[in-house]
Structure 1
Amino acid sequence: MKISTKGRYGMTIMIELAKRHGEGPISLKAIAQANGLSEHYLEQLVAPLRNAGFVKSIRGAYGGYVLCKEPSEIKAGDIIRVLEGPISIVEGMEDEEPAKRELWLRIRDAVKSVLDNTTIEDLANHTPSARDNESDAYMFYI
């Protein structure tokens, strides 16, 4: 499973709103500028999040978006499903031999577990650790 920019940028919107939860509406322009993203693309992503009941828009000069629920009540898996569809590792799993199907199911269940046990609040309160730079440990420069 590969999460596209829809899922990644949608998570960015939700995390930014969670970081400022209770402070009033935040514009997509502010979120886009803070993260180096396209405001136009974020506008396309916020519609399904609004339709799913995760965010609401506030009109006016100081308008923007706010979360409809507490950040602790919104699971990362819910956001990914809204923007990306069902969580699936391999298409056509039912046609696989039993041993391989079991592996794909276990991987899918592990991914679902992480996504469904991680809240937007968890992500908003994340502090960088050595693990965040783990990919650099395997980088070879020539």
Structure 2
Amino acid sequence: MKISTKGRYGLTLMIHLAKCHGKGPTSLKQIAKENQLSEHYLEQLASPLRNAGLIRSIRGAYGGYVLAKEPMDIKAGDIIRVLEGPITPVEGIEDEEPAKQALWLRIRDAVKDVLDTTTLKDLAEHNDDEPQDAYMFYI
């Protein structure tokens, strides 16, 4: 399973909002600038996130976006499913032989478990200065 820029940038948007949670609305322009992303692309991502009830827009001169729920109540899987669709490692699992089908389902379940047990609060509180194990980028 490969997460596209929609999922990656959507997570960035949501993590930014989680870090600003309780401080008022944040504009997409500010999020785009601070994360070196396209404001137009973030606008495209905000719409499905808003429709899914994960964020709210606030109009006006000091408007912008806020989380619609507490960061601990939003899972990474919620965001990825809204922007990427269902979580599946391969298409047409039902056509695979039983041994491969079981493998694909175990992989799907493992990915879902990680995404559904990682909250936006966890991601927002992660220390960006913490070194990462190099092997994890090659798994």
Q: Give the TM bin, normalised by the shorter chain.
A: over 0.9
1:17 match: 17
Q: RMSD between aligned alpha carbons?
A: 1.6
Structure 1 unaligned blocks of 5 or more: none
- Amino acid across the alignment from 1:6: K
Normalising by structure 1, we get a TM-score of 0.92
2:36 match: 36
2:50 match: 50
The Cα of 1:127 is off from its aligned counterpart by 1.1
- Amino acid across the alignment from 1:58: I
CA distance in 2, matches of 1:12, 1:68: 16
Deviations 1:67-115 (A, max 9, x none): 0100000000011000110001010111111111111111000000000
**Percent identity of paired positions between Structure 1 and Structure 2:** 72
Normalising by structure 2, we get a TM-score of 0.94
Larger Rg: 1
What is the correspondence of 1:97-108 to structure 2 with a 5 Å cutoff?
Answer: 97-108=97-108
1:2 match: 2
Count of residues paired in the alignment: 137
2:75 match: 75
Post-superposition, which runs of at least 4 consecutive aligned residues in structure 1 deviate over 3 A? 135-138
Structure 2 unaligned blocks of 5 or more: none
The Cα of 1:133 is off from its aligned counterpart by 5.1
